[in-house]
Structure 1
Amino acid sequence: MFKWYGIFGMLIILFSEVNFYFKIEPFASWYFPIIWFGYIFVVDAIVYKLKGNSLIMSRREQFLKALLLSALIWWLFELINLRTINWHYLSTPTGYAEPAWIRFFIFRTIAFSTVLPAIIETFELTRTFKLFNKIKLMKHHKTTHKFLRNMVLAGLIMLILTAISPKHFYPFIWIAFYFILDPINYLHKQPSIIGYWKNGKIKPPLMLFVAGTLCGLLWEFWNYYAVTKWFYEIPFVGFFKIFEMPILGYLGYGPFAWELFAMYYFARSLHIGKTKHSFLELNKI
């Protein structure tokens, strides 16, 4: 049975698209977060229909926590953007909250809360297609403490270089936290990309990469038509845009999904120690 909220999500997406022409407020200004919640509801309902379990239906507490963590994570990137200045926003959403900056803060926080759940849901959907089932690493790989320390050091250096010269090193922000946190997760026996590579399991990292790229395409597509939207100012490679994003920028969405994965499990380890893998059910992959 297809869950009711999936049908509701379809109606949300349909209304949002039709409202391009009618510009009914406040829905037109709030188009971006509205359509993303519609997407999350639809994909979750599809996943539940195909698998019999899903993030919203089976792990609702994790879904709510993912919304909160997602907003916090993206506000961190907004702070970093004060230095890199790679994107800026156009227009302020309509509403009753005053002054305008309060309205904009509420809008951004709600929009930011959809990032992590969207990656999770897209990952779960791609998983039902059984992608990469036949791809396996031929051997397991050794992981030394020196290698892990060097990864953390490399991530810290990336952040420092970005702070010193954001014009040249801004791409590092989309991978630096992965380098810092994934080794820490591995050492604390949390799910980690390193752990899967070590055990010869390439499927989870590849599926996360695909999920990040698919979400990236949708982020840019829906942002392009939004009233309240962002634009990019990217040094050196700001050419050949697909929607607002230069084509080379799409290369960052896959690593960004790994970064979110590492940040999520690091946050969970601080909260409850060892997890039950309820986020992506990686023990079943």
Structure 2
Amino acid sequence: MLKFFCLFLALVFLALPFLGFESWHFVCVNLGLLCLFDAYYYFKHQKSYVMAHFGLIVVMFFLSMSFWEVFSIINAQLGLWKNVRVFESALEQAQYALGHGLLIPLTFVMLSCFFPKLKKLKMRSFSFGLELLLGCLLLVLVFLVKPLNIFIWVAIFLILDALCFKQTNIGLLALIKAKRFYPIIAFICIALVLGLFWEGYNQLQQEWTFTFTHFNFFPIFGMPILGYLGYIPFIASLFNFYLLMESVVVKKPLALAK
């Protein structure tokens, strides 16, 4: 019965923005997708991912809020997007925190539906140092060369992916070198689906707008195509950030549980 209840909750949350709760669209779409994929996980494994890993979900929630605050500080310098709404009341601040706190939990629940776990890679030849150097150089260029601002997600991904591989022997670029493409395809699909939902629901009541001065073409729900594709390194960065933080604390990266 729990899987059908999760499915019911998913449909309710995804429908709420169309029923007068437009201002809660970001929270609703994240909760809806979380319940939807948790129900799918339940159908496959006869258990709820969220309930089986509730403690981890809570940790992911707070890490996700912290991670987004870092991005907000960076954006204050680059000005890639701006919030249309001002979150002043306690309820609005809770709404903002809840919406962004669900980013990492949602990423892991969706990933767990497509492949059970990531194994450590035994790759002595993979140069995490080169990846880290490229990420740092791109990060510097992002702040110095305005047309490159849009590549901030790529720079942060390269840095986190290199550090994650060094700490846990799990890295997305290393997976590509090892010719293990299925997880990479899953990341790309998940990122594009999430981006489509977020930008689509943002049209109901605009909560953010983008202020790209370059490469501002072929918009998808108002998001320029290069910005939309930026959801791929963004979602990958969320994944790497959690694995990195967890490995520092418990010395053992999370295996996406069966």
Matches within 5 A, 1:119-268: 119-127=107-115, 143-144=124-125, 147-165=127-145, 167-226=146-205, 229-268=207-246
2:84·2:209 contact (CA, 8 Å) conserved in 1? Answer: yes
Provide closer, same or farther for how the CA distance between residues 222 and 184 of structure 1 changes in structure 2, counting only shifts above 3 A: same
TM, length-normalised to structure 1 = 0.79
CA contact (8 A) 1:143 1:198 kept: no
Letter in 1 for 2:235: A
Q: Deviations over 1:71-106 (max 9, x none)?
A: 11111111110111011111346xxxxxx2765543
From the superposition, tell whether residues 246 and 56 of structure 1 become closer, same or farther in structure 2 (CA, over 3 Å): same
Give the conservation status (yes or no) of the 8 Å contact 1:190–1:265. Answer: no
How many pairs align? Answer: 253
Cα 1:31–1:183, aligned 2, differ >3 Å: closer, same or farther?
closer
- 2:50 aligns to what? 56
Alignment RMSD, CA only? 2.5
Does residue 43 of structure 1 match 2:37? yes
Q: Which amino acid aligns with 1:218?
A: F
- Which stretches in structure 1 are left out of the alignment for 5+ residues? 20-26, 94-99, 129-139
Aligned-partner residue type, residue 157 of structure 1: L
**Which one is further off, 78-87 or 174-183?**
174-183
The equivalent of 2:59 in structure 1 is 65
The answer on whether the counterparts of 2:164 and 2:243 sit within 8 Å (CA) in structure 1 is: yes
Structure 2: segments with no counterpart, 5+ residues: none
1:274 is matched with: 252
In the other structure, the counterpart of 1:15 is 16
Instruction: Give SS of 2:168's match.
Output: coil
**Match in the other structure for 1:110:** 98
What's the offset of the Cα at 1:115? 1.7
- The CA deviation string for residues 241-267 of structure 1, in whole angstroms up to 9 with x for no partner, is 221201232221222222222111111
How far apart, CA to CA, are the structure 2 residues paired with 1:252 and 1:31? Answer: 21
In 2, distance between residues paired with 1:263 and 1:152?
A: 14
CA distance in 1, matches of 2:174, 2:47: 25
**Quick one: distance in 2 between partners of 1:150 and 1:244?**
35
Letter in 1 for 2:10: G
